[in-house]
Structure 1
């Protein structure tokens, strides 16, 4: 056996177990779900129907509602969360700020809390007689309580508030790490040239954080397109499917309605298409022109 062949075999031995596990638990289920998306029927009584499930997507009013809701969450919540995470990270990167460690921990903590626990807490806080409405009524800001859970518009707002509260600190950590790797002499040179704090932020911080902004935007997009826990536990998709997401619709197709695993698999691939589409779009808008 040649030295080159021996080295190649040694390398494959190191990765063989991981490659087998990835194939069995990732690629095989993906392939099976793709085959499943071309079948339809109640429960396990499935039959091959070709592209009928994919054609059905475009005439399914519930799917179109879930798609619209999910895209609204994406277009509103992700930019707001990225903006807040960026601003907070810049503030907490200030060497003159006291108790920086405490503030960083406090803002990061929501993303390590239980999804179900915090969703239930939000549901009680934003109930018609909850703490939020009581505070707004007592301060005179409101004359009548906001129906956060039963009004279609405010229910969407509540979901956006919940996921922004949870994930802003997660993105903030990425920005903080990147900010600490920017040479402070760059800011000092800009200050000598007469640049103020806002100009330094626009002309230095934003361009230097461009790769991290792209990364956080993409992972936030993927997370929002897969949104399930908050909607399921806070509003249940209501009122009248006003907050229903694609992931919850997949759950309903599989476990709440008469089970149709074939069509549920088809809907799941709609998420895959959306993730690919928005990821490519973000690369084109934010990524380097030479890539």
Structure 2
């Protein structure tokens, strides 16, 4: 009986499956371990800390919802929130729209040296943020010899102090975000366009469709999964903008360009108010979840009616 059980192929197969399963878990365990240490545990601790007053060194004092009340009553919080939305719209929405047209152009056979342009447009994404800050610091310098101010003066306008003016700071930071991420979204759309069957492009050309009609009835409906992905990532990225205002404005983080994550950073690491900073992080998490759900409802409608009409035709 024991010999039969030992040689049973089903038992051998089961043991081999369990062995392979645990071997696979062992190989991927470093990722989950690092994620738990540097991601999950700090996130849970931040939720916990949102209900306490703590300066990072002394004892923690339970305050209930007082941290949330302090944040919501702070005028600078609402200013940072409005700045985040304005900068996010100005820096993110154009790159999503223009990225589709750039990807369509790079996917076209009419453009020569397409591979060169594809590499070139992705360079800003892999460029060091310090180098980007230096470049845009020169372009949007407050001095009259700055490139943008030189152009404005040449056109007969007054020079702008980009780091201190209300819209100057927003425009400069938005342009920095646009320049850094336009290539990333373009390549995502380009990959999506290359996955579209060539028969659809050929059928559109045979039917005499214009470039706009081809984009409207073929490309955009077929790019729907890619558009949803870029909208989600761009929205979350826009709500988490931090590096650009920090490197452009410096540690002063003036209210003209401060974002909600920069507001959180100022509370935690410049004022040592970790409780209110954690409360701000919780509010930001809730905001991201709400906007993500709204995005999901809106992007589900992209190309739906148009594509159905095209299929009927």
TM-score scaled by length of structure 2? 0.84
1:28 to 41, 54, 69: 41
Work out whether residues 179 and 209 of structure 1, in 8 Å CA contact, stay in contact via their aligned partners in 2.
Answer: yes
From the superposition, tell whether residues 87 and 238 of structure 1 become closer, same or farther in structure 2 (CA, over 3 Å).
farther
- 1:79-113 Cα deviation digits (max 9, x unpaired): 11101111111111111211211212221101111
Shift of 1:42: 3.0
From the superposition, tell whether residues 49 and 5 of structure 1 become closer, same or farther in structure 2 (CA, over 3 Å).
farther
Q: Which residue of 1 aligns with 2:3?
A: none
1:222 and 2:236 equivalent? Answer: yes
2:284 to 254, 271, 283: 271
Higher Cα radius of gyration: 2
Q: Which residue of 1 aligns with 2:168?
A: 154
Q: Which residue of 1 aligns with 2:21?
A: 11
1:205 and 2:215 equivalent? Answer: no
The Cα RMSD (Å) is: 2.3
* Shift >4 Å, 4+ stretches: 1-6, 237-240
From the superposition, tell whether residues 20 and 43 of structure 1 become closer, same or farther in structure 2 (CA, over 3 Å).
closer
1:135 to 132, 151, 155: 151
From the superposition, tell whether residues 239 and 275 of structure 1 become closer, same or farther in structure 2 (CA, over 3 Å).
closer
1:121 and 2:130 equivalent? Answer: no
From the superposition, tell whether residues 6 and 149 of structure 1 become closer, same or farther in structure 2 (CA, over 3 Å).
same
Aligned pairs (5 A) from 1:1-291: 4=14, 7-8=17-18, 10-16=20-26, 17-18=29-30, 19-45=32-58, 46-128=60-142, 129=144, 130-138=146-154, 141-236=155-250, 240-257=254-271, 259-287=272-300
Q: Can you give the 5+ residue segments of structure 1 that lack an aligned partner in the other structure?
A: none
Work out whether residues 39 and 49 of structure 1, in 8 Å CA contact, stay in contact via their aligned partners in 2.
Answer: yes
From the superposition, tell whether residues 6 and 27 of structure 1 become closer, same or farther in structure 2 (CA, over 3 Å).
farther
Work out whether residues 52 and 64 of structure 2, in 8 Å CA contact, stay in contact via their aligned partners in 1.
Answer: yes
From the superposition, tell whether residues 142 and 149 of structure 1 become closer, same or farther in structure 2 (CA, over 3 Å).
farther
Q: SS state of the match for residue 258, structure 2?
A: coil
Which stretch of the first structure deviates more once superposed, 32-41 or 205-214?
A: 32-41
Q: Can you give the 5+ residue segments of structure 2 that lack an aligned partner in the other structure?
A: 1-5, 305-313
- 1:99-138 Cα deviation digits (max 9, x unpaired): 2112122211011111122113201211132022213433
Q: Which residue of 1 aligns with 2:309?
A: none
Q: SS state of the match for residue 97, structure 1?
A: coil
Work out whether residues 151 and 239 of structure 1, in 8 Å CA contact, stay in contact via their aligned partners in 2.
Answer: no
From the superposition, tell whether residues 137 and 84 of structure 1 become closer, same or farther in structure 2 (CA, over 3 Å).
same
From the superposition, tell whether residues 6 and 102 of structure 1 become closer, same or farther in structure 2 (CA, over 3 Å).
closer
CA distance in 1, matches of 2:22, 2:51: 35
Shift of 1:10: 4.3
TM-score scaled by length of structure 1? 0.90
- 1:139-186 Cα deviation digits (max 9, x unpaired): xx2332233222111211111111001100011110111111112221
